[in-house]
Structure 1
């Protein structure tokens, strides 16, 4: 076996094609869009190249056949924060020295997996990193993040997928659980528990609160409302920076072709945005028919499947409430308001909701997901490997 760093277009293409062969007999596998994977490794499209470094490799056997692939990367801002930016006991310190690896695919072969992990570790260590997290993304946590360890069914859009034996490969090398990522499930027609429903109705009847779904033609306005809520609700979390208006508009604009305004909801208090519940159609139910491509013909097919109502799953991307309105029933009121529309017979094609993963370091949000009827559905895990094997391992700090 030997490792080859990817430097040519042909090797980059093989990086995309190897998983297709690896999973050819797996009915649950859904090939990601080529453009989504390629964008991660394109310095012109991935802004993290301005803050870090990334490379990737293929693992070949004696006949030069691909038997594995992997990428390694790091973000200077999180791995090497200035000492003045990290107060004592700061959660940011949990990421000091942390590099990462991801896009791991491999045969069920411990020696092959070890060579891939060794290559990542050595590359990161040469750059001053002291640990590696994986399998994760060289980008935001909403894509390609974590190892599936429970429920190996078809992945939702942008999620990692892997066979059960991958956990053995990671554990054998010495990776440990840094945090667990729980995705939740509920049927669209499921009713809220009586106590929760009472809280939701009380909030909805309060004339200072108002809940409405997005209007696509006013998308820029809703992008700004999203930014306002996000910056109040998330900036206190470790490693999270305020969202700019430009970023919010870019994110909203990128969703316009696929979003369904009926399942994106906002809550307001005295006219000020205080909460959002962002759902999108689970487009992997369409992407599974496109074989990784999204050219003009695939776009026509995509629109056709949308028109037919092929997508039966809503994907809960993110749920946010500003701190001063948390634990008052606003979370339940948002779900209640959404249900008033989506539960009308024939109003929407969706039958179930899958809520995006919540880390077990965030027990408050896990409680909210269960409060509104969510049941644990799938588990991913973000694993960590310490280069100094005598160092004490610590889990991700719990968010207060």
Structure 2
């Protein structure tokens, strides 16, 4: 008999964090996320999504031993065709009966809240963290990226989940030749005296937060299921990121003083965090600073890429990539760049990634389960 325990006390929280570490202890590619980052997601004081939603965590036990865990949640700002809840932070032994019990429990919880479908595994937060199930490319995960055993795919699909959209991660060597298409685009835009490219600098984050917000809201807001960024929140995010910002790898393009494109990258923090075993106390912070100073990080991660609509299809992306690539080759140790993920519903960005002569190195999937099993399933619409 499976016993369900809601995560409510310190013991439960510790078990929620330790269970995956035990499950993956023999997997050389598993990198334990920092405990503090996981716990902040479930802290109403730190996660803004509690203002428009609710979330519960559960442990599933058999014979006094944890065999699974999950978070189930509702985000009322998550605009979908039908009321759709979410599940995430799912971990389970390789047993379909156990997985079915967990999924049924989540479905019942969400149905009681008026939901008609559930997506998973997703985050009770932004799409840039802990979103999707790994279905190809079982290699070391990037910071904030889900990692799971291959059998998880069967657990989801055997229950009846279907792929709502696939998330493609593209990789290329930093020193690989820049596409001729981008070289031509750079040469064309370089002749325009109104066009310039600038790397993001830590001493002027307020300016770059403003520019980021302007470009994002023009280029991306309509793609985020109702999401619209506020400048103050972006500045707060940038200030939080300040210790790990590399001033050579994030770029903005301007027409005179007006921002028209951006390309935001950070070092892959997991190349340092994998030595901390999920902890981030005083000792681990000192260790992190030591690693950051003396251990070369050769992988950077592309987070956001955007061009305002009026400058799309005019080669400004090629201009920016050429400028940024030439510069970071001279000033950094990075050898590999990986784009965090691009949804298969976004052919424009996939085309840009392919033009970069990248290869797909991993693939994740956002699954959806419709509670009405007679209702026609629809994948994410193409942008």
Q: Give the structure 2 partner of residue 348 of structure 1.
A: 332
1:227-262 Cα deviation digits (max 9, x unpaired): 111111112225233211211111111110111011
Q: Give the structure 1 partner of residue 205 of structure 2.
A: 219
Normalised to the residue count of structure 1, the TM-score between the two structures is: 0.93
For residues 330 and 290 of structure 1, the distance between their equivalents in structure 2, rounded to whole angstroms, comes to 40
- Counterparts of 1:243-282 in structure 2 under 5 Å? 243-282=229-268
Structure 1 position 310, deviation (Å): 2.6
Q: Give the structure 2 partner of residue 68 of structure 1.
A: 68
Out of 228-237 and 180-189, give the one that drifted further.
228-237
For residues 212 and 309 of structure 1, the distance between their equivalents in structure 2, rounded to whole angstroms, comes to 27
Q: Aligned to 1:378, what secondary structure does the other structure show?
A: strand
Q: Give the structure 1 partner of residue 196 of structure 2.
A: 210
CA RMSD of aligned residues (A): 1.1
Paired residues of 1:263 and 1:280 also in contact (CA < 8 A): yes
Structure 1 position 195, deviation (Å): 3.0
Paired residues of 1:136 and 1:144 also in contact (CA < 8 A): yes
Q: Give the structure 1 partner of residue 311 of structure 2.
A: 325
Paired residues of 1:286 and 1:310 also in contact (CA < 8 A): no
Out of 253-262 and 195-204, give the one that drifted further.
195-204
The answer on 1:376 being equivalent to 2:370 is no
Structure 1 position 354, deviation (Å): 0.5
Structure 1 position 389, deviation (Å): 0.7
Q: Aligned to 2:143, what secondary structure does the other structure show?
A: coil
The answer on 1:22 being equivalent to 2:6 is no
Structure 1 position 193, deviation (Å): 2.2
Paired residues of 1:335 and 1:372 also in contact (CA < 8 A): no
Structure 1 position 135, deviation (Å): 0.3
For residues 374 and 335 of structure 1, the distance between their equivalents in structure 2, rounded to whole angstroms, comes to 13
Q: Aligned to 1:256, what secondary structure does the other structure show?
A: helix
For residues 243 and 319 of structure 1, the distance between their equivalents in structure 2, rounded to whole angstroms, comes to 15
Normalised to the residue count of structure 2, the TM-score between the two structures is: 0.98
Paired residues of 2:183 and 2:322 also in contact (CA < 8 A): yes
1:33-63 Cα deviation digits (max 9, x unpaired): 001100110000011111011001111012x
For residues 265 and 238 of structure 1, the distance between their equivalents in structure 2, rounded to whole angstroms, comes to 22
For residues 336 and 132 of structure 1, the distance between their equivalents in structure 2, rounded to whole angstroms, comes to 41
For residues 113 and 240 of structure 1, the distance between their equivalents in structure 2, rounded to whole angstroms, comes to 32
Structure 1 position 335, deviation (Å): 1.0
Structure 1 position 97, deviation (Å): 0.9
1:70-96 Cα deviation digits (max 9, x unpaired): 110011233xxxxxxxxxxxxx543x3
Gaps of 5+ in 2: none
- Counterparts of 1:1-400 in structure 2 under 5 Å? 1-62=2-63, 64-78=64-78, 92-94=79-81, 96-344=82-330, 347-399=331-383
For residues 122 and 50 of structure 1, the distance between their equivalents in structure 2, rounded to whole angstroms, comes to 23
Structure 1 position 372, deviation (Å): 2.3
Gaps of 5+ in 1: 79-91
Paired residues of 2:265 and 2:302 also in contact (CA < 8 A): yes
Paired residues of 2:117 and 2:369 also in contact (CA < 8 A): yes
For residues 327 and 163 of structure 1, the distance between their equivalents in structure 2, rounded to whole angstroms, comes to 40
Size of the aligned set, in residue pairs, is 382
For residues 375 and 218 of structure 2, the distance between their equivalents in structure 1, rounded to whole angstroms, comes to 36
Q: Aligned to 2:243, what secondary structure does the other structure show?
A: coil
Out of 150-159 and 218-227, give the one that drifted further.
218-227
Q: Give the structure 2 partner of residue 82 of structure 1.
A: none
For residues 309 and 200 of structure 1, the distance between their equivalents in structure 2, rounded to whole angstroms, comes to 34
For residues 93 and 118 of structure 1, the distance between their equivalents in structure 2, rounded to whole angstroms, comes to 21
For residues 148 and 241 of structure 1, the distance between their equivalents in structure 2, rounded to whole angstroms, comes to 25
Out of 367-376 and 381-390, give the one that drifted further.
367-376
Q: Aligned to 2:77, what secondary structure does the other structure show?
A: helix
Structure 1 position 287, deviation (Å): 0.3
Paired residues of 2:4 and 2:60 also in contact (CA < 8 A): yes
